[in-house]
Amino acid sequence: MDSRDFPAQAAAALEQPTLQRSLAAMRTAMPGLRATALAGLPDYPALRARARDMRDASIGSLGELLRAYEARVIAAGGTVHWARNAEEACRIVGELCDAAGARRVIKSKSMVTEEIGLNDSLQRRGLQVTETDLGEYIIQLRGERPSHILAPALHLGLADVAATFEQHHRRPRAEPLREAEDMLAEARAELRAAFLGADVGITGANFLVAETGAAVIVTNEGNADLSMTLPATHIVVTGIEKVVPTLEDLGVLLRLLARSAIGEPLSAYTTLVHGPRRPGDAAGPRAFHVVLVDNGRSSLLGTTQQPLLRCIRCSACLNHCPVYTSVGGHAYGSVYSGPIGAALTPALTGIAAAAHLPNASTLCGRCEDVCPVAIPIPDILRHWRSQALAARIGTGPERPGLRAWRYLAAHPWLYGRVLALAARVLRLLSVPAGARRRLRGLGSLGRGWFAWRDLPAPDGETFQERWRRRRLRQRGA
């Protein structure tokens, strides 16, 4: 899948019944859950403003905060690595695994590791990598990409999961898998063995706290806790923008994250981890590493896209987007999908490869409304649209169309004439429907639109004409 093929991929997604069923369920359920959870807060607008300002302040002093965080991790006995790009990050993690003599790696879900293509890179080194988030595990078995930031297997139904497990889990089975409970039990058993046999555990981090040197990891399954407690080595791979100053600042984001994401006050497990096992500790890894990944983030500083760095990956913008909830995540062809993906991907991959994504939006503004850190996503999408146009990317019909429109708009007399003509022609093409007339088709033009909807027909007269008539009448009276 490639972002360049968005139109074809989106069209295909509309024809996938399982995906459409999941998306419809999400579209109906999520907005209400989120709204109820936020209504339980004493003053959501104030908390949101606080979160936005705190993230801005943190991004303004990222260097300072990361140095403080690094000093804390080192003092606790851990090591911090810095990676300029995906390749560097993968190499660092690979070398750490080699140094640990690792063969088996377990991972908890992390978008940054998707972004840098870590699994492929580790597998090329001969390591066996197992994703432990259930959804991520399922799509790993199927060789697919996540279709949602938090629910990576959203596009699959129970029957797909059953088929995947039957194919990959080599276990005697009296009858085919049918019940969700049985699938869960099977995955639990398979993954428990993976947890207990792993040499290295890799997790992301939702946040880093400069004050204490904590990496903060949030899950509902508890898989990150097992991934970071059982193996002898724990490697945290995360973006440089995740750091916040203090524990109170962390509290502000935690109070927003799960409420925005899943409509609950907190996820089932929120874990703060500060380094390797200490003398006398009964559990925990002997070695603890943090890999801080830049991969294009620092180049957003000082640009109009800088607010993207505030993102806490809650996925509220996906769940509320009319485009995402129609086509799902795979259509975008990028690691990050939905509104945040459309705004972020051009910054990560360049506008040439992602020129369709900023257009995958109606600019209705719901993404900005529901964003807990108030990222102006529509403004950023508009910025990318004008970049693409200026760079002459996408030679679609829009360029001559826009040029014609500009000419018309700059010549009022001609504008009036053309509109008057159009109003009459459209009326002629319309059909009676009740008291009014409606437009049901325009020949070969807009066939996709008219297959499902119609349009109210113009009255055959433009506003300017009517206004002129009214003025004449008034003068005559």
Residue 317 binding target from ligand SF4, another protein, none, CB below 5 to 8 Å by type: ligand SF4
The residue among 30 and 340 lying less far from ligand SF4, judged by its C-beta, is 340
Q: Residues interacting with ligand SF4, by CB under 6 A?
A: 311-317, 340, 370-373, 375
In the complex with ligand SF4, the residue whose CB is nearer, 255 or 437, is 255
Pull the structure tokens for residue 338.
């939905």
**Partner interacting with residue 86 (select from ligand SF4, another protein, none; CB below 5-8 Å by kind):** none
Of 216 and 370, which has the nearer Cβ to another protein? 216
CB of 90 to another protein, least distance (A): 13
Scored b (16 or more CB within 10 A) or e, 453-477 reads eeeebbeeebeeeeeeeeeeeeeee
Q: SS3 for 340?
A: helix
Q: How far is the CB of 470 from ligand SF4 (least distance, A)?
A: 47
Pick what 299 binds: ligand SF4, another protein, none; C-beta below 5 to 8 Å, kind-dependent.
another protein
Beta carbon of residue 255, minimum distance to another protein (angstroms, whole number)? 7
DSSP category for residue 228: H
The CA distances from residue 177 to 170, 183, 186, 221, 473, in Å, are 13, 7, 10, 22, 78
d(CA 89, CA 81): 9
| Distance in Å, CB of 378 to another protein, minimum | 22
86 vs 375, which CB is nearer to ligand SF4?
A: 375
3-state helix, strand, coil in the chain (%, to 5): 55, 10, 30
Contact 352, 358 (CB under 8 A): no
What are the backbone angles phi and psi of residue 109, rounded to the nearest 5°?
Answer: -55, 135
Pick the closer one to ligand SF4 by CB: 73 or 257. Answer: 257
Q: Which residue has the tokens 């640009």?
A: 303
**């964003």: which residue's tokens?**
371
Which helix (H) or strand (E) segment holds residue 135: the answer is: helix 134-142
Whose Cβ is closer to another protein: residue 218's or residue 335's? 218
Assigned token pair, 284? 């925990």
Partner whose binding site includes residue 42, from another protein, ligand SF4, none (CB under 5 to 8 Å by kind): another protein
Q: What is the DSSP letter of 442?
A: B
Q: Which CB atom, from 142 or from 440, has the smaller least distance to another protein?
A: 142
* Type and span of the H or E element at 253: helix 247-262
Closest distance to another protein from the beta carbon of 176 (Å): 16
- Rounded to the nearest whole angstrom, what is the least distance from the CB of residue 31 to ligand SF4 in the complex? 13
From another protein, ligand SF4, none, interface partner of 205 (C-beta below 5 to 8 A by class): none
Dist. CA 156–CA 31, nearest whole Å: 21
The option from ligand SF4, another protein, none interacting with 313 (CB < 5 to 8 A, set by class) reads: ligand SF4
The answer to whether the CB of 183 falls within 8 A of the CB of 177 is yes
Complex with another protein: residue 285 or 378, whichever CB lies closer = 285
Looking at the Cβ atoms of 156 and 312, the one nearer to ligand SF4 is: 312
135 interacts with, out of ligand SF4, another protein, none, CB within 5 to 8 A per kind = another protein
CB of 149 to ligand SF4, least distance (A): 6
Give the nearest distance from C-beta 212 to another protein in angstroms.
Answer: 6
2 binds, among another protein, ligand SF4, none (CB under 5 to 8 A by kind): none
Strands 214-219 and 207-209: antiparallel
Give the DSSP letter string of 13-49. HTT-HHHHHHHHHHHHHHHHHHHHHHHTSS-HHHHHH
- Which contiguous run of DSSP H or E holds residue 257? helix 247-262
User: Measured from the CB of residue 320, what is the shortest distance to ligand SF4 in angstroms?
Assistant: 8
Tell me how far apart the alpha carbons of residues 78 and 95 are, in angstroms, rounded to a whole number: 16
315 touches, from ligand SF4, another protein, none (C-beta below 5 to 8 Å by class)? ligand SF4
